[in-house]
Amino acid sequence: MPGRLVECVPNVSEGRRQDVVDAIVGAVHAVDGVRVLHVHADPSHNRSVITLVGPAEAVGRAALALARAAVEHIDLRAHRGEHPRIGAVDVIPFVPIGETTMEECVALARRVGSELWQTLRVPVYFYAEAATAPHRVRLPDIRRGEFEGLAEKMAQPAWAPDVGDPRPHPTAGAVAVGARRPLVAYNVTLHTADVGVARAIARAVRESSGGLVHVQAMGVRAASGQAQVSINVLDAIRTPLYRVFDLVRLEADRHGVAVAASEIVGLVPLDVLVDVARAYLRLWTFERSQVLELRLVE
Amino acid sequence: MPGRLVECVPNVSEGRRQDVVDAIVGAVHAVDGVRVLHVHADPSHNRSVITLVGPAEAVGRAALALARAAVEHIDLRAHRGEHPRIGAVDVIPFVPIGETTMEECVALARRVGSELWQTLRVPVYFYAEAATAPHRVRLPDIRRGEFEGLAEKMAQPAWAPDVGDPRPHPTAGAVAVGARRPLVAYNVTLHTADVGVARAIARAVRESSGGLVHVQAMGVRAASGQAQVSINVLDAIRTPLYRVFDLVRLEADRHGVAVAASEIVGLVPLDVLVDVARAYLRLWTFERSQVLELRLVE
C-alpha cells in the first residue's frame, strides 16, 4: 500500500442493528486502497467505532461513503443510547500515521467537511486540531445539548456550524470532523487489590488534577482483582507512554506498591512504540525507516 | 504485500564491478513480490550484501535468480578481496520475519539448496539453523580454506557437501545456505574518551569472555571521539537489546561512566523493538498484531 497514510476512526450512532452496521462498513470496503482494521459495535452506547486506514485521498473518499450510508440508514429522532451524540455520523477524526503531517490531516478534514455539506446537507463542526475557535476544540463542548438540543444551539452565533446552514439535518443532525494525534488506551496494573492506591495514582498523573497533559486516568479494579490505573493518552506522541509509565511507577513506589504489568488496548501506531524504545535505550538517532517491515508499507 | 515474510541477505563475491552488481540485483528485481531493501557493495572486501524481503516462496525464487546471475558473472579463479569466501554466491541466509517460523526458513533453505545444485551445479552446505551437523553450524568453519582450498576440503568425508557432488563448481565454488535469527549491529556510546573502559565493558558483555550468548563486542573510539562498545547481537530475539543495553549500562556504572546513547545500524525487524517496549513497560500481553502499520503488511 503506497503513499502517506492516514487513520480515520468515525463513530456512527448505531450499535444494535447489525445489518445497518454491516451496510455502513460495507461502504468503506467498496473504496479502493482503504482497509478496515477494526469495527467495535456497542449496543448499550448504540454506537459503532470503525477504524480504517489508507492513503489520505482514499481515506477521505471512504469517510464520505461511510457518512452517506450512515445518513441513509440512521434516523436520530428514533435513536436512544448512553453515549452523547449530535449526528448519525457523529464524529470523523483523521489521525496522521508515519510521515504524514498533522497539517495534511487538517486539510483533509476541511475538504471532507466541505463535501459532507455539499453532498449530504449535513452541517459540519471542525474540532480538535481542525477547530476554528478554542471553544470548538473539545468534543464534549460540541456535543453538549446533543441532537435533541441542536436546533436551538446552532441558532446561537457562537455555535453556527463551520460549514453549512445553521440548522440540523432533520434525521442526521450534524457532524464533528477533525484531526488529532493517535489516542492510546493504556492500563497499568498494580501488585495490590487496594483500588484507593490506583485512584491516588490516577489523580497524580492525569491532566485534570495536576499531572501530565493529554492524560486522563481513573483507578479501577481489573477483572483479575488487582487495582488498575486506567488511562487514555489523548496525544501519545507529545506525551509518550514511557513518561506515563515512569510517573505511574514512581507514584506507586510512594505507596510501597509495585507495578505488575501494563497493557495497550487495541491498535497502536508504530511511532508510539518506537518512542518507548528510543527513550529507554537512548537510541537518539533511530528513525522509523529503519524498521524492516515498514519498507513494505511506505 | 500479503503472506508470511522472509528476509534474505545473500552475499556475493563482487563489490567492484558495478555493472555486475547491478545485473545481480536486477535478477532479484525481476521477481514479483520481492523487494530489495538494501545493497551494500564493498570494494575492499570485493563483496556485496543484498537485503531482500517478501513472502517465502517468492524470496526463494529471488535467491535462485540472484545465484544464477552471480554464477554467470563471477569467476572466483580471478577473485581477490579481504573477506574469506567459498563461492560466487558465498552465503544465502533466510531470516524469519513476524509470524514466520524458523522451521519455515529451514525448509526454504533446504529447498533452495536442492534447486541450486539441480539447476546450477553448485554444491551446497547447509549452515546455522539449517546445519546437518554441529561442525557445519558456523560460517567461519565452512569457509576455512576458502575457494582455493575447496577441492581438497570437499574430498574429506567430514566436508562432503549436503547437496551435490563433492567437487567445487569450477568458477563458482560452493555456497552456504542457511536460516538464522535477525542479526542486529548495535553500538553503545559512553560519556568518556577512555577506550579502555569500552574494552572492559565489551569483555564483560560478550559471549566469548563470560557475557551474554549471541553477543560479540569490542571497544572502539567513535567518530565523535567518545569511547564506544561496538556490538553484534547474532540473535536479537533470544538475547534482546534491552538486556544487552542494561548490562552495558551496569558495567559502565561500575567504572563511574554514563551511557550517552545507543544506535542500531541499518534495518531492524519490528519484533526487536517490540521486545524493548514490552520489557520496559511490562507490556506482557502485547502482540505485534496491535501495531497499526502491520495490518497493512501481513
Here the contacts of B77-80 (C-beta below 8 Å, separation 24 or greater) are B77/B170, B77/B171, B79/B13, B79/B14, B79/B46, B79/B147, B80/B46
Strand partners, B48: B12, B41
- CB distance from B283 to chain A under 8 Å? yes
pLDDT at B1: 43
φ and ψ at residue B50, rounded to 5 degrees: -110, 130
Nearest by Cα to B57 from B134, B115, B18: B115
Confidence of residue B297 (pLDDT cuts 50, 70, 90): low
pLDDT at A297: 61
Q: Which distant-in-sequence residues (6+ apart) come within 8 Å of B65 by Cβ?
A: B27, B28, B30, B31
CB contact under 8 A, B281 and A98: no
> Residue B159: pLDDT above 90?
yes
Set of chain A residues whose Cβ sits within 8 Å of the Cβ of B274: 273
CB contact under 8 A, A281 and B276: yes
- CB distance from B218 to chain A under 8 Å? no
Task: Copy the grid coordinates of residue B291.
Answer: 501495531
Q: What gap in Å lies between CA A88 and CA A281, rounded to an integer?
A: 46
Give tens-digit pLDDT for B215-242.
999 999 988 899 999 999 999 999 999 9
| CA–CA min distance A224, chain B (Å) | 14
- Letter for the amino acid at A27? A
Confidence of residue B83 (pLDDT cuts 50, 70, 90): confident
Set of chain A residues whose Cβ sits within 8 Å of the Cβ of B273: 273-274, 277, 291
Task: Copy the grid coordinates of residue B157.
Answer: 568425508
Q: Position of cell 478534514?
A: A109
Nearest by Cα to A236 from A279, A177, A201, A293: A279
CB contact under 8 A, B37 and A286: no
**A50 contacts A38 by C-beta, under 8 angstroms:** yes
> Residue B45: pLDDT above 50?
yes
**B213 contacts B134 by C-beta, under 8 angstroms:** no
CATH architecture of A5-179: 2-Layer Sandwich (3.30)
Catalytic residues of B: 83
Q: What is the DSSP letter of A185?
A: E
- Letter for the amino acid at A215? V
Catalytic site residue from A83, A135, A169, A214: A83
- CB distance from B53 to chain A under 8 Å? yes
**B243 contacts B233 by C-beta, under 8 angstroms:** no
| CA–CA min distance A137, chain B (Å) | 26
Confidence of residue A140 (pLDDT cuts 50, 70, 90): confident
pLDDT at B231: 93
Confidence of residue A98 (pLDDT cuts 50, 70, 90): confident
Rounded to an integer, the average pLDDT of A192-218 is 95
- Letter for the amino acid at A153? K
Give tens-digit pLDDT for A20-75.
999 999 999 999 999 999 898 888 889 999 999 999 999 999 999 999 999 999 99
Give tens-digit pLDDT for B84-110.
899 999 999 999 998 899 999 999 999
- What is the DSSP pairing of strand B175-179 with strand B124-128? parallel
pTM score, two decimals? Answer: 0.78
pLDDT at A1: 43
- CB distance from A283 to chain B under 8 Å? yes
Rounded to an integer, the average pLDDT of A249-275 is 94
User: What angle in degrees, to the nearest 10, is found between the helix axes of B241-254 and B195-205?
Assistant: 130
- CB distance from A277 to chain B under 8 Å? yes
Give tens-digit pLDDT for A111-127.
999 999 999 999 999 99
- What is the DSSP pairing of strand B175-179 with strand B89-96? parallel
CB contact under 8 A, A273 and B268: no
Nearest by Cα to A260 from A227, A236, A233: A227
Q: Which residue of A has its CA nearest to B266?
A: A290
- CB distance from B237 to chain A under 8 Å? no
SS3 of A42-97: the string is ECCCCEEEEEEEEEHHHHHHHHHHHHHHHHHHCCHHHCCCCCCCCECEEEEEEEEC
A282's torsion region: left (phi>0), alpha (psi -120 to 50) or beta?
left
Percent above pLDDT 70 for chain B: 98
Strand partners, A261: A189
- CB distance from A266 to chain B under 8 Å? yes
Confidence of residue B3 (pLDDT cuts 50, 70, 90): low
Q: What gap in Å lies between CA B49 and CA B92, rounded to an integer?
A: 10
Percentages helix, strand, coil for chain B (3-state, rounded to 5) are 40, 25, 35
Percent above pLDDT 90 for chain B: 86
Strand partners, B87: B173
Nearest to B296 among A35, A241, A263 (CB): A35
Q: How many angstroms separate the Cα of A192 from the Cα of each of A185, A200, A204, A244?
A: 21, 13, 18, 19
- Write down the CATH superfamily of domain A184-292: Formiminotransferase, C-terminal subdomain (3.30.70.670)
Q: Position of cell 563511574?
A: B256
Set of chain A residues whose Cβ sits within 8 Å of the Cβ of B252: none
Q: What gap in Å lies between CA A24 and CA A70, rounded to an integer?
A: 6
> Residue B28: pLDDT above 50?
yes
Confidence of residue B44 (pLDDT cuts 50, 70, 90): confident
Round the average pLDDT of chain B to a whole number and report it.
94
Catalytic, A45? Answer no
State the Cα torsion B120-B122-B125-B126 to the nearest 10°: -10
Q: What is the DSSP letter of B150?
A: H
Task: Copy the grid coordinates of residue B36.
Answer: 530489495
Q: Which of B272, B281, B297 to mutate to test the interface with A (most CBs of A within 10 A)?
A: B281
> Residue A2: pLDDT above 60?
no
Confidence of residue B212 (pLDDT cuts 50, 70, 90): very high
CB contact under 8 A, B280 and A242: yes
ipTM of this complex prediction, to 2 decimal places: 0.78
| CA–CA min distance B128, chain A (Å) | 22
Q: How many CB atoms lie within 10 A of CB B109?
A: 29
- What is the DSSP pairing of strand A259-265 with strand B5-8? unpaired
Q: How many CB atoms lie within 10 A of CB A18?
A: 12
Rounded to an integer, the average pLDDT of A169-186 is 95
- Domain parsing of chain A, residue ranges: 5-179, 184-292
